[in-house]
Amino acid sequence: MEARIESSESEQNDEAFRDDDSTDNASYFLRKDKSSKWYRDIPNKNNLLKQLPVPGVIGPAKLSKSPVDCWKYLFTGDILDIIVKYTNQYINIIKNKYGRERDTKLTDDIEIKAFIGILYLAGAYRAMDLVEELKEIKLSYVGTVKKNKRELPPEFVTTKSREVYSSSFGLNRGTTLVSYVPKKNKIVILVSSFHHDKSLDSETGEKKKPSIITFYNSAKGRVDNVDKMCATFSVARNIKRWPMNIFFTMLNVAGINSQIIYLGNDLNPIKRRLFLKQLSHKLTLDGLQRQSEKTIRCTFNQN
């Protein structure tokens, strides 16, 4: 997005403030090094900008008609090539630490775009959206929900007037929401499409934990054990990750500005979450197709 005017504002302002030797010294401030002046008033008002800038998309980006097309003007092929180049350099450096060749295969732009698409998708999904989409493919979900989510009723996020070990339940179309107070001024919120009642786990005694929470804790323990086993013999080392922070910031800004281009081209209004989902789908599509072709070839060769 840029401002389109016949001559730039900076050019016209430079003209307006052009030095005039006849100007009274009392009409300006002089820098310490005497290299330029700061005027007390506008010397030549006739040269000031009279037309307000008109915001809009300019250049080739104006022809963009889809989220991914808009995104490509911000996260260009050159940027992707640089990421691929230096990622492969790093892979070549560490590949001797791995026993299997398949663990250190070089990457390419298709794989990098798929990775970026997954990052966008992870950022766009909300817990409730994920629950509903998983239900459509006959999968259940049990997980925590952050207190700042707007899907939550106000009564579920406050500890005011709530007793320790008390629970509040909400049920909606096969999904159960629970808010539990494990101790004073603390709340734990979970959502489940696997549980469909307000049952409490009798084995938790006076703590009266909802069955959803004990089920979640039992499954989470298995995941934690796997993480510990991986970490015990991990080849990873503690390194400074500031390049990744820069990378994530670039992605966030590109995601925002690509939607601005999309809306600036007078395309159909679209919510940010849906825009990022569509962008993610297009970025991962080539990678999914390639993986599908590999799977088909392997199946064919085995037969």
The residue extents of the domains of the chain are 2-56, 65-124+235-302, 140-226
- Residue 90: the pLDDT is 92
Tens digit of each residue's pLDDT (9 = 90 or more) over 244-270: 777 888 888 888 899 999 999 888 888
Position 174 scores a pLDDT of 86
Average pLDDT over residues 57-61: 86
Per-residue buried b or exposed e for 256-279, using 16+ beta carbons within 10 Å of the residue's own CB: ebbbebbbbbeeeeeeeeebbbbb
> H/E element holding 124?
helix 109-124
What's residue 114's pLDDT? 92
Encoded tokens for 120: 């966008």
pLDDT for residue 124 is more than 50:
yes
How many CA atoms lie within 13 Å of 12's alpha carbon, on the beta-carbon side? 14
Burial of 198 (0-12, 13-18, 19+ CB in 10 A): middle
Identify each DSSP E strand in the chain by its residue range.
2-4, 28-30, 37-39, 54-56, 142-144, 167-172, 175-183, 186-192
Of 5-14, 261-270, 271-280, the range with the lowest mean pLDDT is 5-14
**Neighbour tally for 222: CB within 10 Å:** 9
More confident position, 295 or 9:
295
> Which structure tokens are listed for 250?
């670039």
Predicted pLDDT of residue 43 = 62
Determine the 3-state secondary structure of 91 from DSSP: helix
Q: pLDDT value at position 7?
A: 46
Q: What is the pLDDT of residues 153-181, one digit of tens each?
A: 888 988 888 999 999 999 888 889 999 99
Residues 6+ apart with CB under 8 A from 77: 109
Q: Compute the C-alpha angle 49/52/57, nearest 5°.
A: 125
